[in-house]
Structure 1
Amino acid sequence: MGEARDRAGGRDGPRAGQLAVAALRQTWSDPPGFMGMLEAIDHKTIARRFIIATLVFFLLGGLLALLMRVQLARPQAHVVGPEAYNQLFTMHGSTMMFLFAVPVMQAVAAYLVPLMVGARSIAFPRLNAFPYWIFVMGGAFLYLSFALGAGPNVGWFAYVPLSSSDYAPGKGADIWAQMITFTELASLLQAIVLITTILKMRAPGMRLDQMPLFVWATLVTQFMVLFAMPAVMIGSSSLILDRLVGTHFFNPAKGGDVLLWHHLFWFFGHPEVYLIFIPPLGFISSIVSTFSRRPLFGYRAMVLALIATAFLAFSLWVHHMFATNLPEIGKSFFTAASLAIAVPSAVQIFCWIATLWNGRLDLKSPLYFVLAFFVILVLGGLTGIMLGSVPLDLQVHDTYFVVAHLHYVLLGGGVFPLFGAFYFWFPKLSGRMLSEAAGKLHFWLFFVGFNLTFFPMHLLGLHGMQRRIWTYPAGLGWDGMNLAATAGAFLIALSVLVFIQNVVFSLRRGAVAGANPWGAGTLEWSMPSPPPPHNFDAIPVVHAADPLWSPPGQPAFVGGLATHAREVLATTAVEARPDSRPLFPSPTAWPFWSAVATTVLFVGSVFTPWAVVWASLPVAVALICWFWPKRREIARSVALEQRP
C-alpha cells in the first residue's frame, strides 16, 4: 500500500485526481429510478431510510401514548374501552422497545461508523440492506394487524399464562410473537455488519485505543445484541409453538415452567435497556468533546466503563422478578449487581463534567440536550437503585413508580441524547443546518413536558396506582397528578411538532453547512456534507484519536485502490494495519426479494405451521439468486488479483 500525496488520487496532478474522483462516484453510486431504490446498498442511503422508518414508528407510538394519557386524564373516563386500552398499552410498549429504541441506534451507527473509521463502505453492504427491509415489513405487519382489529393485547412483555391461547384467544399474541422474532432477526444481522465494519475496515493506523468513543459504544452494544437477542427470539418462538402447535414450554400442568418465560424475556429485557442507553453515551462523548473544544477527559476510563456496563447489564435481569418465588439469597446478588452498575455510569458522568469544566463551552442545541441528560439520568438512576432493593421493589412493583423510572431512564437516557445527535449530525446527513432558535424551543418544550408527564408518576405509584389499569374511580387523590401528566404529554407532542417543522424547513431553506460546521475532530467531518457515495476520495492514515485536531503536518492517504471497481481496504482487528483489498458486490434487488420471501414465511406461520415448510422454498430461491456468483464480478476480481 502506497501513500498518496493528496486526496485527489496520487501523483498525477489535479486533472488525474478529478477523473479518479468522478470514477469513484460513478462506481459507488446506486442505480437510479424505482428499481434502483430496491437495489440500493449504499450504507448512507439505507441508514437514512432506516432512521426515517424508526422515527415514523416513534410518532405512531407517541400517538398511542397520547391517547392513553387522554383516557387517564380524568377518573372514570370512557375515551376507549378496556380491550382497546390493552391494545394501546401493548402496541405503545412494543413499538418503542422493538421498533424504535434499538433500531434507531443501529440505523444511526450504520450511517456514521464507516465515516468515523475511514471506510468507503459498510461491511457486507447487501446484508446491511436486508435487515432494513425485514424491519419495515415486520413493523408494517404489526400495525396492519392493529388497524384491522387483530392487534396484540398481552402487554409488551407478554407474560405467560396470560399470553397463552386460553387467556388470549385470537391472533394478536401470535402476531406479537412473530413480530419479535422478525425484528430481532434484523437486529442480529445489523450487529454482525457493524462489528465486522469496526474490527476489519478501520483506516490504517486507527488502533483500538484511537477509535472515537461512539464507535466503541457501537461495538460494545452490538456484542450485547449477539448475546441478548437470541434469548427473546427463543422465548417468542416457544410461545407461538405453545399456541399453534401444542407444545408446553410454559404450561406447568404439562411439565413446563411459567418462570422460564420471565427468565428468557428479562435476560434480553434488561440488557435491552443498555442497548438503548450505551449508544447515546457515544453521542454524548462526541458532543461534549466538540462543544467544549477539547479532547475527552479520561478516554481509557470511558472505554472500560462502557465494557463494564455491558458485562454488568447481563447480571441484573432478576431484579424484574423480585415479586416471584425465587430464593431470597439469589435476589440479594442481583440487588448488589443493581447497585454496582451505577459505578461505570458515574465514571462516565465525571469524565464528561471534567471535559466541560476545563473547556470553552459553545452552548448550542446539541449541548442543551446533553446537559438535560445529566439531570434526568441522575434522577432515573436514583430510582433504579431504589428498585434494586427487594423490600421497596415489592411495595412499588407494577405501579406507576416503575413507569416513571422506566421513562426517566429510557427517554432521559436515550431520546434526549438522540435529539442532541440529530442536531449535531444533521448537517452531515443533509448538508443543511437546523434552526438554532427552533432547536432551543424544541428543547425547552420537551424538557418541561417530559418532567411534567413523568415526575408525578413517581407519586402516583407511591399512592398505589397500578400501571395497567384503564380507568380509576374519583376520590383516590390521583386526579390532579394524572391531569398534569396528560398536559405534559401534550407538551411533548408539541415539542416533536416543532422538531418536525424545523427539519422540513431546514431541508428546504436551511443554511448551507460546510464540511465541518462545528469544528469537530473525527473523520466524518473531513468530507463534504452530505458525503459522496464513496465516502472518502482517498483512505486516510490515522495517527490520533481526533485526527482533525492533531498537529498540522503532511496528510497521509492510502493509494493503490481501484477506482472502477468497488475495492476496499481491510485492516487487522487490533492495530489496523493493511491486510487485504476485498472487492465488494454491486447493487442488487435480491436482498429486497429475500426479505419479501422471509416476510411471507413469518406472516404465514401465524396462521398455519405449514407455512414454515412451503415458504422456505421461495426463501431458498431468493438466497441462491442473491449469492450466485456473477461472471462479470468474477472476472473483475481475478483482474484485480493479478495486478502487480
Structure 2
Amino acid sequence: MGGANSNELYDRFFAFWRTLPGWRAAGAVNHTSVGRRYLATGLVFFLIGGLLAMAIRSQLATAGGVELGNDTYNQLVTMHGTTMMFLFAVPVMEGFAIYLIPKMIGARDLPFPRLSAFSYWCYLFGGIFLYLSFLFDAAPDGGWFMYLPLNSKLFSPGMGADFWLLGVTFIEVSALSAAIELIVAILKTRAPGMSMGRMPLFAWYILVVAFMILFGFPPLILGSILLELERNFGFVFFDPERGGDPLLWQHLFWIFGHPEVYIIFLPAAGIVTMVVETFARRPVVGYAWVVAAVIATGFLSFGLWVHHMYTAGIPRLSLSFFSAASMAVAIPSGIQVFAWIATLWYGRPVMALPLLYVFGFLFTFVLGGLTGVMVALVPFDAQVHDTHFVVAHLHYVLFGGMVFPLIAGIYYWLPLLTGGNVSVGVGKIGFWLVFSGFQLTFLPMHLTGLVGMPRRVYTYPEGLGWEWLNLFSTAGGFLLAAGIAAVAVDLYLRFRLGENGKRNPWGAGTLEWGLRLPVPPFNFISIPPVTGRYPLWDQQGTIEASERGEHFLGDPSAARRETIGTSAGDATPEQVIRLPHQSWEPWWAAVAGIIALAGILAGRYWLSGLAGLALVAVFFVWAWRAAYRDSPRRIEAGAGLHLPNQSSSGQAPGLWGTRLALVSSAIVFASLLFAYYFLWTVSPPWPPSFLKVEATMNAPLLALLLPIAGTLILWIAVAANRRGAYRRFQLGLAVTFVLGAAYPFLMLGWLADAYPERGGHVYLSLVHFLHGYLWFHLFISLAAIGFAIARSWKGHIDSERRLEVDVATGLWHYAVGVALIVYAVVFVSPDLF
C-alpha cells in the first residue's frame, strides 16, 4: 500500500474500526472507548467521594457537632475511604493506561479488547452495587479497611459489611483483569524494534504497577471471601472462640493495602516523568536509574505491610525489620525525584499548565514523604497511630502524590482526548485554589494529630485545643472543593468547545503524539518501526510514512482488526494478533456476575446459581467467537513478512494471559496457605485434639491417583495431536475429563464423613476451603478441556493451531499441582511438625 492516499486509507480503516452509534456504542471494546469510560467514571466517583469529604469536614468544623450523628458519620467516613481507594485512585490510573499504552507503544489496540471492556463493566457495576447500600439503609460503617471483630456478624449484623465485601471483591476482579491486559499488551504488542530499553517510561511504570496488582490484590480478595463465608455461610476463620484470629484479616488486608499506596503513586509518577521530559525539551536524566527505582519501589512495597500494624502486639524484633523496609523505600522514590529535578535543570523548561501541577506535586509529595519516614519509626508511630497526623500523611502522599499528577496528565493529554488544542483558560486559577486549599486543609491536621485528636470520631468537646485547627481544615476543604469545581468546569468547557488542532502541540517525542486529531479508533494506519526512545524526535518522516501505509499492516483490504505481536525482549515481529469487533459478551458477563452477588446478599442462592450458569454460558460464547478462528495460518504483515496468527504462533496473547491469571490465583493460594499455618500457630494442637478422624490417608491418596493418571493421559494426547493423530487426541482429552470429574466426587464423600462440621473449628473450615479452591480450579480446567474437545471436533485445532490445547493443559497442570499441595498440607504436614 506504499504511496496510497492517507485519507483514503483512513476512511477504509475507519469503516471497520469505528464504534457504532447510539445505544450500540455500549458494546464497544476498543481501548480508546474503554479508557475514556474509565476516566469519566473514575472522575465522577472522585467528585462523589469529595462531597462525602465535605460533609465530614463540615461535621468537624466546630466542637460538639452532632448534625450527622455517629452512625451516619461512620458510614460517610467508610464510603469516602472506599470510594477514593477502590473506585477512584486505581481505576482512573488503569483507565489512563488503557487509553494511552497502545498509542505509546505503537499498537492498534490492547490484545484482549473484550477483557478490558469486561473489567470496566465490573468496575462500574461494583461501584453502583456499593452505593445502592444507601438505598437499603445498609451502607457499610466499619471503616474502609473492615477491621475485625468490629465487622463480624456479632457486632455488624446488618448487610453493610456484606455490601462492602461483595462489591469490593467485584471491583478487585476488574482491577486484576485490567492488569493482565496491560502486562500482555506491554510485553507482546510493542511496535517492532521497541525493545524494553526503548519503551516510554510511562509504560515501564504501568508494567511494574500491573505486576504489583497481580501480586497485591489477591490477598484482599481471599480475605473478603473468607470473611463473607464466616458472616453468612457457617465457616470460621477470624473468631477466636473457635480457633480463629482477627489479626489474620489485618495481615491479608495490609499485604494488599501498603502496595496499594505505591500502585496509586507509581502511575502518577509515570505521568510526571512524561510531562517533565516534554516540557524540559530533553530526555529524562538517568533512564536506567529511573527504571531500576520503579522496580525497586514495587519490590520493596511488599515488605511494608506491618508498617500499619505496629500497635497490634507483634514482637518488637519483627517490627524493626518492617521499620527499616519502610524507610528504605524512600531511596528509590528519592531517585525519581532527583531525576525529575535534574531533567528540568539540564533542559530548557517551558512553563505550561501541566508542568505547574507537577511543581505542586513535587512540593506536596516531598512533604508527605518526610512524614512517611517519621511514621516508619516504631516509637513515633505508636504516639500518632490512629490520630489525624496519619490522616494528614495519607492525604499528602495520596492526594499530593496522585491527584496533582492526574490533573497534570489530563491537561497534558487533553488534545488526544478532545481532538483540540489546549488554552490556559481558568486552569491556573483552578491550580492555585487546589494547591492552597489542599495545604490549608491537611497541614493543620498534622498538629491536630500531635495534640491528640483521634481518627474517626464524629464529635469532640471544647477546650482540647482542636477547635481552631479543625476550623482551618474545614475552610481549606471548601477552598479545595472550589478549586476542583473550577478544574471540572474548565475541562467540561474544553471538551464541549474544543476544535480540531494540530498534531503534537507540546512538541513531545513519544509515539502517541504522532497520531492525527481527533485520534482514530485504530491509532495507526500502519504500525511504524521504532529505533529509539523518542521516535518523534529521532525518526524524522516515520509518522508520515505510517500515514501512507508503508509500515506494518498498512493494507485495509482484509477488513479485519489486527495488530502486530512482538517478542517480549527486543520486540521482533512474531505474530499477527486478530482482534474482535464490538461485542456484548463483556456486558452480559458483568451483569451475570453482579446478579450472582446480589443473590448472595439477599440470601437467594438459587438466583446466584442461575447467574453462575449464565456466566459460564457467556464465557463459552466469548471464547468460541474468537477473532482468530477462521484466520489464515500465515498473514501478510508488510515489510515482506508473513507471520502466523496468534493461534499458530506458540506465543499467543491468550496463553500469556492464562499464565498471568494462574500467577494471580497462585497468590490467592499462597495467601490461603499463609492463613493455614498462621492459624496453626494461634490454635495448637493441629488438627484439634477433639477431632476424631477414623478414615486414614489411604482414601485421599487413592483419589489423588485419578488426576495424576489424567496428567499422563493428557501428555499422550497432546503428543498425538502434534503427530496429527486427532482421534487419539480427542479420546485422550475425553478420558482426562472423566478422570478429573471423578476426583472431586470421591473426595467430597470422604470429607463429608471425616470432617462433617466445617464451622466447629477453624481447622475444619480451612480444610473445606482448601478443597473448595482445588475443585474450583479443577472445574475450570475441565471446562477448558471440554472446550478444546468441541473446537477439535469442529476442525479448529490441529498440530499447528493448538492455542486452546495449550491453555487447557496449563489449567489442568495447575489444578493437579494444587491437588498435590493440598494433600501434603492437610494430610502430611501435621505429622511432620
When normalised by structure 2's length, the TM-score is 0.74
Shift of residue 562 of structure 1?
A: 4.6
Q: How does 1:141-290 map to 2 (within 5 A)?
A: 141-290=129-278
Shift of residue 584 of structure 1?
A: 1.2
CA contact (8 A) 2:75 2:141 kept: yes
CA contact (8 A) 2:297 2:333 kept: yes
For 1:21, the equivalent position in structure 2 comes to 10
CA–CA separation in structure 1 for the residues paired with 2:8 and 2:552: 15
Q: Secondary structure at the match of 1:519?
A: coil
CA–CA separation in structure 2 for the residues paired with 1:161 and 1:609: 26
Partner letter of residue 365 of structure 2?
A: L
CA contact (8 A) 1:435 1:510 kept: no
Aligned-CA RMSD value: 1.7
CA–CA separation in structure 2 for the residues paired with 1:117 and 1:636: 25
Q: Secondary structure at the match of 2:574?
A: strand
Which among 590, 606, 621 is matched to residue 625 of structure 1?
Answer: 621
Which among 528, 532, 549 is matched to residue 540 of structure 1?
Answer: 528
CA contact (8 A) 1:583 1:637 kept: no
For 2:682, the equivalent position in structure 1 comes to none
Is 1:558 the equivalent of 2:551?
yes
Query: CA offsets, 1:521-566, max 9 Å, x none?
Result: 0000001123101100110111111111115367675235552111
Query: CA offsets, 1:450-477, max 9 Å, x none?
Result: 0000000000000000011000001111
CA–CA separation in structure 1 for the residues paired with 2:171 and 2:584: 20
CA–CA separation in structure 2 for the residues paired with 1:147 and 1:486: 28
CA contact (8 A) 1:561 1:567 kept: no
Q: Number of residue pairs matched?
A: 631
Partner letter of residue 134 of structure 1?
A: C
For 2:388, the equivalent position in structure 1 comes to 400
- State the structure with bigger RCO (CA 8 A, min sep 6), 1 or 2: 1
Shift of residue 45 of structure 1?
A: 0.6
Gaps of 5+ in 2: 643-833
CA–CA separation in structure 2 for the residues paired with 1:551 and 1:132: 36
CA–CA separation in structure 2 for the residues paired with 1:609 and 1:160: 26
CA–CA separation in structure 2 for the residues paired with 1:403 and 1:61: 16
Query: CA offsets, 1:390-448, max 9 Å, x none?
Result: 11111110000000000000000010100100110011111123441411111100000
CA–CA separation in structure 1 for the residues paired with 2:517 and 2:541: 24
CA contact (8 A) 1:98 1:180 kept: yes
Query: CA offsets, 1:481-540, max 9 Å, x none?
Result: 101100111011101111111112112324643211100000000011231011001101
CA contact (8 A) 1:213 1:303 kept: yes
Which among 551, 569, 578 is matched to residue 574 of structure 1?
Answer: 569
CA–CA separation in structure 1 for the residues paired with 2:308 and 2:110: 37
Shift of residue 128 of structure 1?
A: 0.9
Shift of residue 480 of structure 1?
A: 0.5
Q: How does 1:26-105 map to 2 (within 5 A)?
A: 26-34=15-23, 36-105=24-93
Q: Secondary structure at the match of 1:455?
A: helix
For 2:593, the equivalent position in structure 1 comes to 598
Query: CA offsets, 1:134-190, max 9 Å, x none?
Result: 110110111111233110001000100000011111100000001111000000000
Partner letter of residue 95 of structure 1?
A: T
For 2:611, the equivalent position in structure 1 comes to 615
Instruction: Quickly say closer, same or farther: Cα 1:443–1:615, change in 2 above 3 A.
Output: same
Q: Secondary structure at the match of 1:515?
A: coil
Shift of residue 74 of structure 1?
A: 0.5
Shift of residue 257 of structure 1?
A: 1.1
Is 1:138 the equivalent of 2:126?
yes
Instruction: Quickly say closer, same or farther: Cα 1:641–1:244, change in 2 above 3 A.
Output: farther
CA contact (8 A) 1:271 1:313 kept: yes
Instruction: Quickly say closer, same or farther: Cα 1:202–1:74, change in 2 above 3 A.
Output: same
Q: Identity over the aligned pairs, expressed in percent? A: 48
CA contact (8 A) 1:434 1:502 kept: no
CA contact (8 A) 2:34 2:117 kept: yes
Instruction: Quickly say closer, same or farther: Cα 1:551–1:22, change in 2 above 3 A.
Output: closer
Query: CA offsets, 1:581-637, max 9 Å, x none?
Result: 12112211111011100110112112227254332111112212222237x964454
CA–CA separation in structure 1 for the residues paired with 2:229 and 2:552: 55
Is 1:314 the equivalent of 2:302?
yes
CA–CA separation in structure 2 for the residues paired with 1:576 and 1:192: 19
Query: CA offsets, 1:81-108, max 9 Å, x none?
Result: 0000000000000000000000100000
Q: How does 1:116-131 map to 2 (within 5 A)?
A: 116-131=104-119
CA–CA separation in structure 2 for the residues paired with 1:350 and 1:254: 53
Q: Secondary structure at the match of 1:476?
A: coil
CA contact (8 A) 2:526 2:553 kept: no
For 2:103, the equivalent position in structure 1 comes to 115
Which range is displaced more, 312-321 or 620-629?
620-629
Partner letter of residue 29 of structure 1?
A: R
Is 1:301 the equivalent of 2:294?
no
Gaps of 5+ in 1: 1-8
> Which runs of 4 or more aligned residues in structure 1 lie more than 4 Å from their structure 2 counterparts after TM superposition?
553-557, 636-644
Partner letter of residue 619 of structure 2?
A: L
CA–CA separation in structure 2 for the residues paired with 1:172 and 1:434: 44
For 1:5, the equivalent position in structure 2 comes to none
CA–CA separation in structure 1 for the residues paired with 2:130 and 2:338: 42
Shift of residue 638 of structure 1?
A: 6.0
CA–CA separation in structure 2 for the residues paired with 1:527 and 1:313: 36
Instruction: Quickly say closer, same or farther: Cα 1:232–1:633, change in 2 above 3 A.
Output: closer
Instruction: Quickly say closer, same or farther: Cα 1:110–1:551, change in 2 above 3 A.
Output: closer
CA–CA separation in structure 2 for the residues paired with 1:625 and 1:93: 38
Partner letter of residue 291 of structure 2?
A: V
CA–CA separation in structure 2 for the residues paired with 1:581 and 1:91: 45
CA–CA separation in structure 2 for the residues paired with 1:440 and 1:593: 43
Q: Secondary structure at the match of 1:187?
A: helix
CA–CA separation in structure 1 for the residues paired with 2:401 and 2:36: 23
Partner letter of residue 14 of structure 1?
A: A
CA–CA separation in structure 1 for the residues paired with 2:478 and 2:464: 24
CA–CA separation in structure 2 for the residues paired with 1:349 and 1:530: 34
CA contact (8 A) 1:561 1:568 kept: no
Rg bigger for which structure?
Answer: 2
Partner letter of residue 585 of structure 2?
A: W
Which range is displaced more, 282-291 or 138-147?
138-147
Which range is displaced more, 508-517 or 347-356?
508-517
Instruction: Quickly say closer, same or farther: Cα 1:560–1:528, change in 2 above 3 A.
Output: closer
Is 1:519 the equivalent of 2:514?
no
CA contact (8 A) 2:217 2:256 kept: yes
For 2:579, the equivalent position in structure 1 comes to 584
Which range is displaced more, 83-92 or 609-618?
609-618
Partner letter of residue 22 of structure 1?
A: D
Q: Secondary structure at the match of 1:568?
A: strand
CA contact (8 A) 2:500 2:517 kept: no
Query: CA offsets, 1:216-260, max 9 Å, x none?
Result: 000000000000010000011111111101211111110111110
Partner letter of residue 585 of structure 1?
A: P
CA contact (8 A) 1:70 1:79 kept: no
CA–CA separation in structure 2 for the residues paired with 1:315 and 1:353: 28
Q: How does 1:328-339 map to 2 (within 5 A)?
A: 328-339=316-327
Which range is displaced more, 248-257 or 404-413?
248-257
Partner letter of residue 609 of structure 2?
A: V
Shift of residue 198 of structure 1?
A: 0.3
Q: How does 1:327-476 map to 2 (within 5 A)?
A: 327-476=315-464
Partner letter of residue 613 of structure 1?
A: G
CA–CA separation in structure 1 for the residues paired with 2:295 and 2:289: 10
